[in-house]
Amino acid sequence: MAKAGVQGSTRDREITGARVIVTCPGRNFVTLKIETKGGVTGLGDATLNGRELAVAAYLTEHVIPNLIGRDAGRIEDIWQFLYRGAYWRRGPVTMSAIAAVDVALWDILGKMAGMPLYQLLGGRSRDGALVYCHANGDSIEQASEAVGRYIEQGYLAVRAQSGVPGLAKTYGVTKSKLAYEPAESELPTETVWSTPKYLRHTPKLFERARADHGEEVLLLHDVHHRLTPIEAARLAKDLEPYRLFWFEDSTPAENQDAFKLIRQHSTTPLAVGEVFNSIWDCKGLIENQLIDYIRTTIVHGGGITHVRRIADFAALYGVRTGFHGATDLSPVTMGAALHFDTWVPNFGIQEYMHHTQETLDVFPHDYAFREGRLHVGDTPGHGVGIDETLAAKFPYAPKQLPIARLEDGAMWDW
């Protein structure tokens, strides 16, 4: 491979090849590798949980043939070509594919410049990115104990989820007590949901967590789109005494105006956006100051080029970033997101679930956790690679996310 920092002529930057690598070191990941004439390569993540091969096919059939021969340094123009030029715009499949190309191109640019990605974006705004991890338990007691274990490990912010009495399975709670991994079977697992049971139970979880761990730890909670706006308003109000850092995805946000109702009734900070894929999904939420944290991250939001627009727009309204960071986003997204977090002036927090050791081995990386924060290294580009020989040992395994039904059998939001 060519030495970083000495490349950069138009000739060297010509895209000569691109490949999709699908691997399953514990869970499925789709990675795009772009190659240039000068020998510098870049990696982008294109993973869309449960729909991996749709993005892989979109890249292979419709995107890669358009990349060959282009100048890898024209990142903005390639983004516009893939978005504006495609006629069929937006949607998670398209925007994840565009993101993979965009991140791979920023990676190439960094390697050619001999600079870490955060430097290309404008340099450091902070030393490390505050992260939150996932604590969960079948009962309130177990969930609160899990919060305590993470505090002992140095986490400053912890998401807490607990089982709900009367429900066999609850979002965010895993039998193994490790971080939650919802895509567990080839066809969707069916789960049963009861809003009244959940609404009665959840304030008690945070009452207990505050009693056990005091006021300092930042506590977060994810509703996972299960409530109507008025139910979300009620729970946000009931949780006010426990001073949450954020209350996430309390209602589906196709209707951005729904958040007005929640806002009218509560000062609990609101976070949303992990399923969004463009600025048009959150423009109203941001400009009407209906949310406090925008969660749309690099891989599902069209890459650095587009998420930067969302973040800059959000900054005008005092909305901060809180990027999605579940384990179905590969270490490539985590690396790129952490560079972005290190730069972006209106950073809030970064989600950090722990990848399996197999995943970390397939994707060598230079970010590391210290004292509640993740720190990126100074490797040129985003600092995450792929061991293709090892990746080939973990073939794709089809898995889908669960679905939820109400107790009477009707479909609900999972």
Quick one: how many helices (H) and strands (E) in the chain? 14, 16
Contacts of 217 by beta carbon, 8 Å cutoff, 6+ apart: 147, 151, 155, 156, 157, 158
Task: Estimate to the nearest angstrom the gap between the alpha carbon of 155 and the chain centroid.
Answer: 19
Please pick, from the candidates 326, 374, 376, 386, the single residue that binds ligand KDG as defined by CB under 6 A: 326
Q: Collapsing DSSP states into helix, strand and coil, what is residue 350?
A: strand
Q: Which two tokens stand for residue 19?
A: 């490949």
Q: What, of ligand KDG, Mg ion, none, does residue 49 touch, CB below 5 to 8 Å by kind?
A: ligand KDG
Greatest Cα-to-Cα distance within the chain, rounded to the nearest angstrom: 65
Pairing between strand 218-222 and 373-375? unpaired
Please pick, from the candidates 12, 45, 274, 281, the single residue that binds ligand KDG as defined by CB under 6 A: 274
Quick check: 303 and 101 in contact, CB under 8 A? yes
Q: What, of ligand KDG, Mg ion, none, does residue 131 touch, CB below 5 to 8 Å by kind?
A: none
256 binds ligand KDG (CB under 6 A): no
Please pick, from the candidates 102, 222, 281, 292, the single residue that binds ligand KDG as defined by CB under 6 A: 222
- Which residue of the set 58, 132, 171, 242 is catalytic? 171
Q: What, of ligand KDG, Mg ion, none, does residue 399 touch, CB below 5 to 8 Å by kind?
A: none
- Of the pair 326, 344, the CB lying nearest ligand KDG is at 326
- Minimum distance of ligand KDG from residue 358's CB (angstroms): 19
Pairing between strand 41-45 and 347-351? unpaired
- Which residue of the set 224, 225, 306, 339 is catalytic? 224
Binding map of ligand KDG across residues 349-368, x = CB under 6 A, - = no contact: --x-----------------
- Minimum distance of ligand KDG from residue 64's CB (angstroms): 25
- Of the pair 49, 256, the CB lying nearest ligand KDG is at 49
Contacts of 43 by beta carbon, 8 Å cutoff, 6+ apart: 31, 32, 33, 34, 103, 104, 107, 332, 382, 384, 385, 386
102 binds ligand KDG (CB under 6 A): no
- Of the pair 78, 326, the CB lying nearest ligand KDG is at 326
Residues within the interface to Mg ion (CB under 5 A): 222
- Of the pair 208, 324, the CB lying nearest ligand KDG is at 324
Phi and psi at 145, nearest 5°, equal -60, -40
300 binds ligand KDG (CB under 6 A): no
171 catalytically annotated: yes
- Minimum distance of Mg ion from residue 288's CB (angstroms): 22
Q: Collapsing DSSP states into helix, strand and coil, what is residue 251?
A: coil
- Of the pair 222, 231, the CB lying nearest Mg ion is at 222
Please pick, from the candidates 182, 301, 331, 348, the single residue that binds ligand KDG as defined by CB under 6 A: 182
Quick check: 212 and 144 in contact, CB under 8 A? yes
How many residues touch ligand KDG under the rule CB under 6 A: the total is 10
Q: What, of ligand KDG, Mg ion, none, does residue 328 touch, CB below 5 to 8 Å by kind?
A: ligand KDG
| Cα–Cα distance list, 272 to 161, 260, 319, 345 (Å) | 17, 14, 11, 19
Q: At what angle do helices 331-343 and 92-113 cross, to 10 degrees?
A: 70
273 binds ligand KDG (CB under 6 A): no
Q: What is the DSSP code (8-state) at residue 242?
A: G
- Residues that bind ligand KDG in the complex, under the rule CB under 6 A: 49, 182, 222, 224, 274, 324, 326, 328, 351, 401
